[in-house]
Chains A and B, each alone.
Chain A
Amino acid sequence: MQLTSHEFKQNSVKALADVQLQKALRNVEKNFIEKRAKAAEALPEFDALRDNAKAIKDHTLAHLDLYLEEYEKRVTESGGHVHWAENAEDARRIILEICRKRNAKTVTKGKSMISEEIHLNDYLSEHDIEPVETDLGEYIIQLRGEHPSHIIAPAVHLNKDQVEADFRRVHTHLELDRDLTEPVTLLAEARAVLRQRYFQADVGITGANFLVAETGSSVIVTNEGNGDMTQTLGRCHVVVASIEKIVPTLEDTSQILRVLARSATGQEMSVYTTFSTGPKRAEDPDGPEEYHVVLLDNGRTAMLGTEYQEMLRCIRCGACMNHCPVYHAVGGHAYGSVYPGPMGAVLTPSLNGIDKAGHLPNASTFCGRCESVCPMRIPLPKMMRHWREDEFERQLSPKPARFGLGFWAFFAKRPALYRAAVSIAMPIIAKLGGDRHRLKSLPLASGWTTHRDLPAPEGKTFQQQYAARAKAEHHG
């Protein structure tokens, strides 16, 4: 998708006025939070598991090169191929070459945020290869020409009436009077259509939740089984994954899996957890003939050793956005980036530059709820603050804000001058508040008073009153 993070403000105003979207967002707030809380409560060692998961990833990131080399070796041993892609262009080109070698006309796809990051669908379409999304949510938004608004629930911004309308619009070969009013009938409709596509597909492309260095396996977790169909029914399976998905061992993978689904959907485990190691072997009844892994960097190694390294622990569970009051208010599309919410507010500037994504780390109240639920204990507010520092140092933040801050800081650093200035100002503002003790509007404070009254000051400042009392006691 095109990066429109610089239009975040306009996007958010539109989102706030979208009645249907606001209704859909209430489901995010209601469902995900409660389910995660219950799952966490039901597992006494949940926090210990989080610490453990964090430690595994920290260790892996400290030795990323070694584990990636080990992984490549194991994949090759099992008959697969590893391709290294430095950027999105490389990854797209590599995938296209693989598809062309197989004369592919249709490729099925499991849900993959990395393929969104590299704009894979558009690229394949431009080169006469039809990509078909098989995850229900991804399938729906593909029909609509949209992009995911959430990293695990791509169509969470829609309601079922919209989906019904889309199905009736696109699936014109089916009977008109079929029942599409319930989620289960919608699912059956998508399943029937997609089943045909699996058999047509020449190549199946999936992402990976984990890459296991010990065995050279790629791991996907899904609730629909569509990922399994994608990777076993096509004659060629292409895994596209970013380098930080690596974990050392199968045991490590199972440890992190224990916090993943609980944090994301409140499940103990996702319905399907599938490990793929190389292509079909002679004795296997099914599976792809070819197995490729495209390992994408796209700015990740540049994050190593910086303030943003900890972001590479992210396992894409979506808990941060599920708990974020800003995400609840505007939804994922407003962020104008592949990765929305708090994790996107850190990752998007890392991948695309703070000059293009400056709004995202600023549009946070720093309430800290994202960090409090992050299974990998990523200090999201702290890293958003780092982005604000980078932005400030490079003088990219808006001029009026910089001027205002400079003006304020001048006084904040000079207590006597500050006291003198506020001693004059506050009684005047207090007077404006009158007997109601609040102001309907105040010049230069419209950001505040457009939506709420400004509580009036009591009059004299605390320091004035305190000094006066001390003086009275002294003389008394």
Chain B
Amino acid sequence: MSLNVPTTTPRVGLFVTCLVDLFRPSVGFATIKLLESADCTVDVPRAQTCCGQPAYNSGDRKDTADIARQVIETFEGFDYVVAPSGSCAAMLKKHYPELFAGDPHWEKRAAEFAAKVHELVSFLTDIRGMTDVPGSFDGTVTYHDSCSGLRELGVRSQPRALLGSIDGLDLKELKDADVCCGFGGTFCVKYPDISNAIVTKKAANIEASDADLLLAGDLGCLMNMAGKLKRQGAKTEVRHVAEVLAGMTDAPPIAGSGR
């Protein structure tokens, strides 16, 4: 089999993301289920840790480049590389090539790698043409557009289209859905008070939406919003969009259920 010829069943390398690996493995399994239902074979390389964003956004280019080379080497044999996170996918797809700009060997390699990288939901719809999902849900949900996925990768209509295909799911638009939740990676611990002001506004909009469930495509944002909602005693539950799309809602919601 030549690597240049796309196989009918593509081989997808799952970039699981560090937050999913550590905090929310159920998102990883939901992602595998979705990819398999989109007729892909999925492999999860062991040699992965993180995409390098904490170092990159802290100005540490050297460690970022070391991590990026490791990720590229680990994943470049796959037909596609998919991450259940707009932020990590954007790091791999948009920022790795920038990181190696001018590097005679790695620039090309990073660009070829980047071309294979996709955020999960947009991969399902735009690349695999998926219109139906295995998931089911009965209730009202609202959706937060995470910044990186939205502005760096153009993920906006895709999750709404797939959620709309689920019977019984009532999607209510969130006021200011495209405004940052205040997470911002290390921003939330470097400037906790400002981060809190931003997520407080977000939580108010979520509660005003009256949805039973808040969804988004990035675990960082989700943990931030869930943590705030629960601290305020809100009853709204929070999950990664992949869990609902895959119909895998057995795990307790992020930050638990109830007040």
| Chain A interface residues toward B at CB < 8 A | 9, 12-13, 16, 325-326, 328-330, 362-369, 371-372, 382, 385, 387-393, 397, 401, 405-406, 408-409, 411-413, 415, 418-419, 422, 426, 433, 435-438, 445, 447-448, 450-458, 460-463, 465-467
Contact (Cβ within 8 A) B227 A452 = yes
Contact yes or no, B180 A369, CB < 8 A: yes
The CA of A401 and the CA of B191, in the complex, are separated in Å by: 13
For this complex, into which size category does the number of interface residues on chain B fall? 35 or more
Return chain B residues, CB-CB under 8 Å to A372.
151
Q: B255 near A453 (CB under 8 angstroms)?
A: yes
**Chain B 150-183 against A: per-residue CB contact (8 Å), 1 yes, 0 no?**
0110000000000000000000000000111011
Q: Which of chain A's residues have a CB closer than 8 A to the CB of B182? A: 325, 365
A385 touches B195 (CB 8 A): no
Q: How far, in whole Å, are A401 and B199 apart by their CA atoms in the complex?
A: 23
Give Cα A436–Cα B184 distance, bound, in whole angstroms: 26
A325 lies within 8 A of B24 (CB): no
Instruction: List 16 A–B pairs whose Cβ atoms lie within 8 Å, in order of A's numbering.
Output: A9-B191, A326-B198, A365-B183, A366-B148, A369-B151, A369-B178, A390-B59, A392-B58, A397-B58, A409-B67, A426-B22, A438-B230, A451-B195, A455-B227, A457-B22, A462-B29
Q: Are A419 and B227 in contact (CB under 8 A)?
A: no
Q: Give min CB distance, B240 to chain A, whole Å.
A: 11
Known contacts A362-B191, A447-B189, A461-B22; 14 additional CB pairs below 8 A are A12-B194, A326-B198, A365-B180, A365-B183, A369-B179, A408-B54, A408-B55, A448-B227, A451-B231, A452-B228, A453-B230, A458-B251, A463-B21, A466-B28
What separation, in Å, do the CA atoms of A390 and B46 have in the docked complex?
34
**Cβ of B96 to closest chain A Cβ, rounded Å:** 14
B residues with a Cβ closer than 8 A to A are: 16, 20-26, 28-29, 44, 46-50, 52, 54-61, 63, 66-67, 70, 98, 147-148, 151-152, 178-180, 182-199, 223-224, 226-228, 230-231, 251-256
B49: A residues at CB distance < 8 A: 411-413, 415, 418
Which of chain A's residues have a CB closer than 8 A to the CB of B179? 325, 367, 369
Q: In the complex, A366→B95 CA distance in Å?
A: 13
A453 touches B231 (CB 8 A): yes
Interchain CB contact under 8 A, A363 and B67? no
Q: Which 7 A-B pairs have the closest CB atoms?
A: A365-B184, A392-B59, A437-B256, A447-B189, A388-B59, A452-B227, A367-B180
Say yes or no: A462-B28 contact (C-beta < 8 A), given A325-B180, A448-B192. yes
B224: shortest Cβ distance to chain A, in Å? 7
Give Cα A277–Cα B37 distance, bound, in whole angstroms.
69
Contact B180 A362 (CB under 8 A): no
Give the distance in Å from the alpha carbon of A351 to the alpha carbon of B217 in the complex. Answer: 39
Q: Are B46 and A16 in contact (CB under 8 A)?
A: no
Interface of B is mostly: helix
Q: How far is the CA of A438 from the CA of B185 in the complex (A)?
A: 19
A236, chain B: closest CB distance, angstroms:
45
Question: Which chain A residues border B253 with CB–CB below 8 Å?
Answer: 437
Q: Beyond A412-B67, A461-B22, is A364–B227 a contact (Cβ under 8 Å)?
A: no
Residue of A nearest to B20 (CB): A462
Closest A residue by C-beta to B148 = A368
Given contacts A392-B58, A409-B63, contact A329 B197 (CB under 8 A): yes
- Evaluate contact between A385 and B184: CB separation under 8 angstroms: no
Tell me whether A412 and B227 are in contact (CB under 8 A). no
Which residues of B lie under 8 Å from residue A371 when comparing CB positions?
A: 151
- List chain A residues, Cβ under 8 A from B21: 422, 461-463
Q: A325-B198, A367-B147, A388-B59 are in contact. Are A362 and B66 (CB under 8 A)?
A: no
Q: Is the CB of B188 within 8 A of A448?
A: yes
Q: With a CB–CB cut-off of 8 A, which chain B residues contact A461?
A: 21-22, 25
Given contact pairs A451-B199, A463-B16, A368 touches B152 in the complex (Cβ within 8 A): yes
Whether A405 pairs with B227 at a CB distance below 8 angstroms is no
Look across to chain A and name the residue whose beta carbon is closest to the beta carbon of B24: A458
The answer to whether B252 and A437 have CB atoms under 8 Å apart is yes
| CA A405 to CA B49, docked complex, whole Å | 14
Q: Min CB distance, A347 to chain B, in Å?
A: 18
Q: Which of B44, B227, B251 contacts A438 (CB 8 A)?
A: B227
The residues of A that contact B147 with a CB separation of less than 8 Å are 365-369
Chain B residues positioned under 8 Å from A328 (CB to CB): 198
Closest to A394 in B: B59
Q: Given A365-B180, A412-B67, A422-B22, A447 and B190 touching (CB < 8 A)?
A: yes
B191 to A, closest residue via Cβ: A363
The chain B residue with its CB closest to the CB of A425 is: B22
- B39 to A: closest C-beta gap in Å: 20
Contact A448 B228 (CB under 8 A): no
Bound Cα distance A264, B140 (Å):
37
Q: Specify which of A12, A330, A385, A411 is in contact with B57 (CB 8 Å cutoff).
A: A385
Interchain CB contact under 8 A, A455 and B23 = yes
CB-nearest residue of chain A to B194: A329
Alpha-carbon gap, A328 to B179, bound state (A): 11
Cα-based distance from A443 to B162 in the complex (angstroms): 40
Measured between beta carbons, the chain B residues less than 8 angstroms from A390 are: 59
Out of B23, B25, B184, B194, which one reaches A465, CB within 8 Å?
B25
